[in-house]
Amino acid sequence: VRSIERQIEREKRELLIKAIENYKSGKLQDALNDLDIILSQNKFNVSGLIYRGMTLQKLEYHTNAISDFDNAIKWKPNEANLYFLRGSSKLQIYDLISARLDIERAAKLSPDVLEYSSNLQIVDILLNEPELQAEMKQDAFNRGMMKTRV
């Protein structure tokens, strides 16, 4: 029984490694398929949630990516990059106030990462331009940035 359990755990690790390799090599649909399998077996697999969120971002399923980052943040609440990733997806669907809060949180957790503070400045500019916000939100909708997976 123990050898079977070890075999199953090894296969799960190998599938996660394969999914990460597919993500890094741009085989996003293959990565997504593997990550779906991993998370169907263990919805608390934080690495699986993070990589699926990043894969969904690249595939422009930002609403789904946000959900995965929400779940990953529950397990790693002090991981600055998770807030930045979630904020980036929120920015893509022009949920600017929430995006700002996430990116600000990332900047506070890792003040040495300049990308966080520069993105915060971009969000602040957008927040001060309501007419531009409306145009950009409509553009995001037209480009399918708010689509979700079925």
Mean pLDDT in residue range 110-128: 92
Residue 45 per-residue DSSP state: -
* pLDDT score recorded for residue 147: 76
Poorest-pLDDT segment among 45-49, 102-106, 119-123: 119-123
Length of the chain: 150
Proportion of the chain above pLDDT 90, given as a percent: 74
pTM, to two decimals? 0.88
Q: And the tokens for 91? A: 């920015």
Work out the pLDDT band at 18, boundaries 50, 70, 90: very high
Place of tokens 């779906």: 36
C-alpha 140/C-alpha 18 separation (Å) is: 32
Residue 24's nearest CA partner among 12, 34, 37, 36 is 34
**Spatial distance between the Cα atoms of 75 and 82, rounded to a whole number of angstroms:** 11
| Closest by Cα among 48, 125, 115, 43 to 83 | 115
